[in-house]
Amino acid sequence: MPKIKLDEAVKRISVLSIASDGKLSTRDICSLDDDDKDDEDDDGKSFVEKSERFVRRLVEAQHTMLEAYLNVHNRSNRDQNNGWLLDVGSNVVHAFGKGRKRFSESRTDGSYRQRRSYD
């Protein structure tokens, strides 16, 4: 069957017929939606965009965690000589909590970009 080139304004081709009970019925032969075009490209872009967002959130959370750890590490050293070694467990737990909080906040609110001081 030869291909028929249709104008861009054509969205669908329908056939009208009269049923045995006298009612008019329609049947779509061809439906052209903009959503059907380039489905593969859209899926690829959405996967790439989702991956990029996830990686960005992860890196921002890690940055927050390391920044928080550095703050409490320096504070422990100021309080006592080699105090970081004595406080390493609680410092890591504290910093991990800050990073986890940042990761979950950035998931619920995509506009979370401001830098906060964590002390």
The CA–CA distances, whole Å, from 14 to 22, 47, 78 equal 18, 35, 80
| Distance from C-alpha of 55 to C-alpha of 72, rounded to nearest angstrom | 26
Residue 28 lies in a domain: no
**Tens digits of pLDDT across the chain (119 residues):** 566 777 777 777 777 788 888 888 777 777 666 554 555 555 566 888 888 888 999 999 999 999 999 999 999 989 888 888 999 999 999 999 999 999 988 766 554 455 555 55
Residue 17 lies in a domain: no
The CA–CA distances, whole Å, from 70 to 45, 66, 67, 108, 118 equal 37, 6, 5, 26, 10
Residue 19 lies in a domain: no
- The answer to whether 95 touches 66, Cβ cutoff 8 Å, is yes
| Distance from C-alpha of 59 to C-alpha of 81, rounded to nearest angstrom | 32
Residue 46 lies in a domain: yes
Residue 50 lies in a domain: yes
Count of structural domains, the chain = 1
Residue 27 lies in a domain: no
Residue 9 lies in a domain: no
Which pLDDT belongs to residue 115?
54
Q: Which of 70, 81, 82 is nearest to 119 (CA)?
A: 70
Which pLDDT belongs to residue 22?
81
Which pLDDT belongs to residue 88?
92
Q: Which domain holds residue 55?
A: 39-108
Distance of CA 23 to the CA centre of its chain: 49
The encoded tokens of residue 102 equal 């940042």
Residue 58 lies in a domain: yes
| Distance from C-alpha of 71 to C-alpha of 119, rounded to nearest angstrom | 7
